[in-house]
Structure 1
């Protein structure tokens, strides 16, 4: 991806100037308030973990610094986000490995390597699920776990789609010019079917309510699936 195509160039840049610390908690919810934490990922001792669409790497940094993982790979296709993560948390290597790569391509090159994969409004939201979910299943070890947080409905309250297809949401190019990107906001039944088709079992979906504050508040859909033994 070239810099001109990097629609994540501006994301989190202002925050990175003043907030450089490892987060104090792992949050799945859109509001970043309440809800479950990293325990949803299961026992992480000695585990190989992958964050798909890691952005500035804050969640991955939390796991790498607070849990006895073997390694956390923070995977992101944005050159700007990858550079930001390196500036913020590069000192956590080698327990934290920052990977500049498209999530699907990375997973195709990592067959059977991960104990846990997760996405917090990350690559699962912005990648065709027919491509990403089978690749994620293949990249998990037998018994491995995929967990992701996604929007339970569109920002503003419109219901999630009952068929597989993206909406086009606003974004900005590095020069500030307006652009759009694809985002998948699907009903929980649709996600469950997609995970099953990808080879994942034991699928569970839970709606985590929003904070109730602001017009852009949203409920979170937390989805879990496992690769068969």
Structure 2
């Protein structure tokens, strides 16, 4: 059996070697230094929360440590990211559950299991919205909430897509060779349309200002 090389093998590895702390703050912005925080998720006390595309688990660890949820489930398909999150924050179990899984498959296997789902430039950026959003709707309990941050335009300044189409972006395989990842960078009205088609209601979009110079 052949497997696809993990394009997230190198991501966050340098930081993990020098910073093992639970972050004191939670940010939605790309620069991770401003804007709204976890209050967008609502009161998490006693709630079951899912982090979709959790990476090293830093946002999930923050919520477990500072916001008293019943449990946060940090889901990521990358074996490297799953291993990194387990190494960094595995000690927060059982309130932090770190799951190595395709996000769509995980959500379909967890009907009405979650009160809140979120993604900070995570799986909702890198999974076809027509697959992940209906799956998220299945996994949320009635009245549940999905909150995610995504790019308003490509990092080089190219405008977001006017339809549900991805771009192939450069990445690096574990051996350092060139690889690609698919990312969905969509205009506001496109996100709104696909969210509506997936069964979500009370949809709102906030465009957050950049905190740095340049197109980001």
| TM-score, normalised with respect to structure 2 | 0.97
Q: 1:225: which partner in 2? A: none
For 1:5 and 1:72, the matched residues in 2 are separated by 28
For 1:36 and 1:2, the matched residues in 2 are separated by 42
The Cα shift of 1:156 comes to: 1.4
For 2:187 and 2:42, the matched residues in 1 are separated by 25
For 1:3 and 1:74, the matched residues in 2 are separated by 23
| TM-score, normalised with respect to structure 1 | 0.92
The Cα shift of 1:31 comes to: 1.0
For 2:70 and 2:145, the matched residues in 1 are separated by 16
The count of aligned residue pairs is 216
Q: 2:52: which partner in 1? A: 52
Q: Deviations over 1:32-61 (max 9, x none)?
A: 121000000001010000000000000000
CA contact (8 A) 1:52 1:123 kept: yes
After superposing on structure 2, the runs of 4+ consecutive aligned residues of structure 1 that deviate more than 6 Å are none
Q: 2:178: which partner in 1? A: 178
For 1:72 and 1:58, the matched residues in 2 are separated by 12
Over the aligned positions, Cα root-mean-square deviation in angstroms equals 1.3
The Cα shift of 1:181 comes to: 1.0
Q: 1:221: which partner in 2? A: none
For 1:162 and 1:3, the matched residues in 2 are separated by 33
CA separation of 1:84 and 1:144: change in aligned 2, threshold 3 A:
same
Q: 1:223: which partner in 2? A: none
CA contact (8 A) 1:50 1:117 kept: yes
The Cα shift of 1:4 comes to: 5.2
For 1:212 and 1:192, the matched residues in 2 are separated by 27
In the alignment, structure 1 residue 143 sits paired with structure 2 residue 143: yes
Q: Secondary structure at the match of 1:203?
A: coil
Equivalent positions of 1:1-229 (< 5 A) are: 5-213=5-213, 215=214, 218=216
For 2:212 and 2:15, the matched residues in 1 are separated by 23
For 1:42 and 1:2, the matched residues in 2 are separated by 43
Q: Secondary structure at the match of 1:205?
A: coil
The Cα shift of 1:179 comes to: 1.0
Q: Could you tell me which runs of 5 or more consecutive residues in structure 1 were left unpaired when the two chains were aligned.
A: 219-229
CA separation of 1:71 and 1:2: change in aligned 2, threshold 3 A:
farther
